[in-house]
Chain A
């Protein structure tokens, strides 16, 4: 609310340019944050491997563009879903520590990726990615896709039996097992969905910036965690939603943009964002009591 009010008073904020660039930036983080929400909601804290999965997926997408857009999208989503689902299997079926598993995946994907690409860039050949970076009507495609993903995610969490099971597992794993919520396969499902959401972000980013690159996913883990927490999802699991995650991402992007509009120096921008996130978290905690 406060952010919106300040925004209205800032010249330039209400322009189409400004709003679209906020929305676009929030869309990428939003997708990853939606993915992170599934992991957190199911009681597996956070994953540090979403960013690197995103990077690897941009390469898969770019490399398979010559086979056509749909093939590339399919390959990218299948890859990121598989990478995350494998981690979900270790966590869900074997009870491995989710954080260590994600760090292991981070290392292995980085190593394998460097090995396979030989540190060489991957360039899109042929076209097809353009429609993903354009606009439909007025809205940029990434924004529409992110909103769509959020709606689907929200639907899954609130309206499907899988979503209900996921919340049960995150809230009390043992009790969930007793009533037949199948914690192991539910966990795999949650990781798989997080992989899909991350894959969507990867496709949008690599289509928009026309490259597949191991640096593209840098920083998304922290950005997603921040969005999650600012949106008010419970880090211990069992409560939260994709909607909240996206609202968090949007809030952070808005603050960042306002600071550029005010012409604050880079260093002050960082400080103010930090303080704003802290305030958002504190105010929210105070509000919930």
Chain B
């Protein structure tokens, strides 16, 4: 299999994931986007591992780590989404915090 194929797919996955993170309003979709980006990296790693015929299989081992990390990330992410849901009542991710004025009143000493 030519190297180009997994690379192109990985690029597509990453782009898709980034799009989801940036544009989707629903928290779960955002988490999915993150997952996609991580998997794009994993795909690359595996592909390069094969291409290099890496005897120590660095790519594969890192992929394993990435899978574990992704799980941890999603776990944490879902927990936060849950807490958010409890606090605000929906899982739309924008406008969670009303933009507060950070400029307190008071005399400007300097």
Q: Do A and B come from one complex?
A: no
